[in-house]
Structure 1
Amino acid sequence: MVEWVRLELDVGGFDDAAFEPYLEQAREAGITFTTMAVLGDSAQHHRALYELNKACSADIPERGEFYTYDAYIAERIEVPSFDPAGVVLATHDEAWIGMSSSSLHPGKGYAVSEMTGVLAPYRGRGLSLALKLLAIRFVRAAGYRRLVTIHHPRNASAIAMNRRLGFADRTD
């Protein structure tokens, strides 16, 4: 049985300034950032998000078979916690190359970082940190103080990135 790594960030105490250079560096390299809300919460964009999420998830240890498109829509998009403003996208020459998706859970008092990923050719440039910074800003703007995430223990790069941002082990 897998012991998942459960992490939490105090969004209110998060210092954006330390990670702002990652946004600047990405923009200087021709990367732009937007959200699903800005682009339009449409069927075409749902399909593009699905394909990006599927590609970025391929390296997650023991991920197993990715959702079918219909299951993805039912479990990730057509749910009350979905907010298109919480889907941050990195683009290069109009191609979607990275994402960070957060969901809001008012009854639980926290937001969830569902997925942050960058396509393999664009990794190692700090894009995940830049995307996660924008996701944290979304969560803060939505009025949440807690952002939680869960990782497979062998997903060392994702765990390290989140710890670098200040995520700590959840106690509950």
Structure 2
Amino acid sequence: MDVEWVRLALDLNGFDAVRFEPYVRGARRAGIGFTTLAGLGDTPGNRRALYELDLACAADSPERGEFRTFDEYFAWRAVTPAFDPYGVVLALDGGAWVGMAMTSVRPGGDAFSEMTGLLAGCRGRGISPALKLLAVSFARSRGARRLRAVHHPANAPAIAVNRRFGFVDEVRGEKADAGRAGGGGDPRRPWTPSD
């Protein structure tokens, strides 16, 4: 059965970040820290931790199917010119990795939301919108004009968060590129979730 994926786009030039800053402040007041894979070190051990986090966060994704092996995952996610460890924002609770927002920047001015997810026990605390805002901030720091996302139609929570941020259905004929070709077009200058 073919699935009609929900393809969304956010105009980053018109996005009002101020509206969503209370989510980041609230999460920080509640003890949640934010950093990036680059900030912690893009090491084999941290890549393994990222894989395990993504695996756990995606466990209840609709019709997910079998998850890639570690080697397949990094060949798919990180061994591409678009991968930037500064674009992997992590939510930490007491040092434990509890959430992530992975964003890549493509040639031509678009960014793609590869994955935003939280461990099931951390949902409903405002961390997901905080991660989404930090992902938007990263994309803007790299000069992206749009942030795109693709969701299974049954993934209502993720779609709702994106719509609250102002994501709209892509115009027919435009396609959110979930492919792995391309590169960021911007040097990998340091970026932190406080920028």
Q: TM-score range by the shorter chain?
A: over 0.9
Matched, 1:130 2:130: yes
Corresponding position of 2:189: none
Asked if the contact 2:37–2:46 (Cα under 8 Å) also holds between the matched residues in 1, the reply is yes
1:125 shift after superposition: 0.7
Q: 1:6 is paired with a residue of what secondary structure?
A: strand
2:128 & 2:28 partners in 1: Cα distance? 13
Percent identity of paired positions between Structure 1 and Structure 2: 60
Structure 1 position 39 matched with structure 2 position 40 = yes
Corresponding residue number in structure 2 for 1:24: 25
Structure 1 outlier segments of 4+, above 3 Å? none
1:38-69 Cα deviation digits (max 9, x unpaired): 11111111000000000001111000011100
Could you tell me how far apart the structure 1 residues matched to 2:116 and 2:74 are?
A: 18
Shift of residue 92 of structure 1?
A: 0.6
> What are the residue-to-residue correspondences of 1:4-15 with 2, within 5 Å?
4-15=5-16
Counterpart CA distance in 2 for 1:45 and 1:91 is 13
Q: Distance in 2 between matches of 1:121 and 1:154?
A: 20
1:96 maps to which residue?
Answer: 97
Aligned amino acid, residue 102 of structure 2: S
SS of corresponding position for 1:13: coil
Matched, 1:105 2:113: no
Counterpart in 1 of 2:60?
59
Quick one: distance in 2 between partners of 1:111 and 1:65? Answer: 26
Unaligned runs of 5+ in 2: 175-195
Q: Deviations over 1:75-105 (max 9, x none)?
A: 1011111000000000011000000000111
SS in 2 for 1:12: coil
Deviations 1:116-163 (A, max 9, x none): 001011100111100010000000000011110000000000000000
Q: Matched residue of 2:13: which SS?
A: helix
Deviation (angstroms), 1:12: 1.1
What secondary structure, in the 3-state scheme, does the structure 1 residue paired with 2:62 have? coil
TM-score, normalization: structure 2?
0.86
Q: CA RMSD in A?
A: 0.7
Q: How many residues align?
A: 171
Partners of 2:98 and 2:160 lie apart in 1 by 21
Q: Distance in 1 between matches of 2:89 and 2:37?
A: 7
Q: Which has the higher helix share?
A: 1
Matched, 1:157 2:172: no
Q: Which residue of 1 aligns with 2:167?
A: 167
Query: Is it true that 1:142 corresponds to 2:142 in the alignment?
Result: yes
TM-score by length of 1: 0.98
Q: What's the offset of the Cα at 1:109?
A: 3.0
Is residue 61–residue 155 contact of structure 2 (8 Å, CA) maintained in 1?
A: yes
Structure 1, unmatched stretches of 5+, are none
Give the residue type in structure 2 aligned to 1:83. D
* CA–CA separation in structure 2 for the residues paired with 1:101 and 1:73: 13
